[in-house]
Chain A
Amino acid sequence: MNAAIIVFPGINRERDMAIALARSLGRAPRMLWHRDDDLTGIDLIVIPGGFSYGDYLRCGAMAAQSPVMRAVRAHAARGGYVLGVCNGFQILTEAGMLPGALLRNAGLRFLSADCHLRVERADTAFTGHWQRGAVFRAPMAHGDGNYFAAAATLDRLEGDGRVAFRYAEADGTVTAAANRNGSARGIAGIFSENLRVLGLMPHPEDLVDPLLGGEDGRPLFDSLAAALAA
């Protein structure tokens, strides 16, 4: 079971992600510079957070056009696992690997604060170590995390069980107040059709250590470790 983290210029949460993956997988992931496109032997590709290419045109737009993304698409088409967090989620939508887009936060300000996420299904490789309906805490750190998709797309995502996480109160109720970036239907993360590609805005990788405030994010990585070992 091998994980690789793709490093685009301007990415800045690759170290956080490497630490979280190493904790659960028991070995350090490969750091893959965006000009390498040899993904041989890689089971899980992670696109971490940051500001690829400065987020200058649209968040994730330029990274999505990078040659390595062809290899990532091929990996996903073969049924490989892909995780995109924050800028990684934006890149996956810009690359067309996940539907919708991430707009400017409704309040027009960068949001760096903990949020609560409700786990919408627990029978996937990413969420198996949670119970359905479980609530966990994760730091958000984004200016453009307001999930948008056409109503028909949202209906289809919900109908197909492809909503991974929603912003919620600590008790699991989905409220407008908990949805601070204004995402459509409180959606914080979504799956691909085959449930093997996950994109989400908050950062579970920054909450995997009791000393840093808790291990709320750890089940994501433990789930992946179990899925990859199977």
Chain B
Amino acid sequence: MKAIVTVMLKQGVLDPQGRAIGQALHGLGFATVGEVRAGKVIEIDLAETDAEAARAQAEAMARKLLANSVIERFEIALA
């Protein structure tokens, strides 16, 4: 099964990339755009078939490597 880990900067951590994207969208005429945050999505193919076990593994990976808890938070979805 596949674990999809989304890593985002925590609220309160300045995200200049998101801000630049927001400004660019405004420049293109998307006037309703509010705050924009940019993050990353990491897809991991797992040999695991049990959803709970897969989630636990993905969480361990996110804690250990994929996200830096000083600045980032993460979410996990399974597919």
Interface of A is mostly: loop
A99, closest chain B residue (CB)? B70
Q: Which of A58, A65, A99 has the most CB of B within 10 A?
A: A58
A61/B70 in contact, CB under 8 A: no
Instruction: Output the least CB separation between A59 and chain B (Å).
Output: 10
Task: Tell me if B16 counts as interface (CB < 8 A to partner A).
Answer: yes
B66/A101 in contact, CB under 8 A: no
Which A residues are in CB contact (< 8 Å) with B68? Answer: 58, 61, 94, 101
A 108-152 contacts with B by CB, 8 A: 108, 148-149
A100, closest chain B residue (CB)? B70
A103/B64 in contact, CB under 8 A: no
Task: Tell me if B65 counts as interface (CB < 8 A to partner A).
Answer: yes
A65/B16 in contact, CB under 8 A: no
Task: Tell me if A104 counts as interface (CB < 8 A to partner B).
Answer: yes
Which B residues are in CB contact (< 8 Å) with A101? Answer: 68, 70-71
Task: Tell me if A106 counts as interface (CB < 8 A to partner B).
Answer: yes
Task: Tell me if B60 counts as interface (CB < 8 A to partner A).
Answer: no
B17/A62 in contact, CB under 8 A: no
Q: Number of residue pairs across A and B with beta carbons under 8 Å?
A: 35
- How many interface residues does B have (CB within 8 Å)? 11
C-alpha gap A182/B13 in the complex (Å):
13
Which A residues are in CB contact (< 8 Å) with B70? Answer: 93, 99-101, 148-149
Task: Tell me if B14 counts as interface (CB < 8 A to partner A).
Answer: yes
Task: Tell me if B36 counts as interface (CB < 8 A to partner A).
Answer: no
Task: Tell me if B20 counts as interface (CB < 8 A to partner A).
Answer: yes
Out of B17, B64, B65, B66, which one reaches A104, CB within 8 Å?
Answer: B17
B12, closest chain A residue (CB)? A150
C-alpha gap A144/B71 in the complex (Å):
13
B65/A108 in contact, CB under 8 A: no
Out of A58, A100, A108, which one reaches B20, CB within 8 Å?
Answer: A108
B 40-79 contacts with A by CB, 8 A: 64-66, 68, 70-71
Task: Tell me if A57 counts as interface (CB < 8 A to partner B).
Answer: yes
Q: Which of B13, B20, B64, B70 has the most CB of A within 10 A?
A: B70
A57/B13 in contact, CB under 8 A: no
B 17-42 contacts with A by CB, 8 A: 17, 20
A 27-70 contacts with B by CB, 8 A: 57-58, 61-62, 65
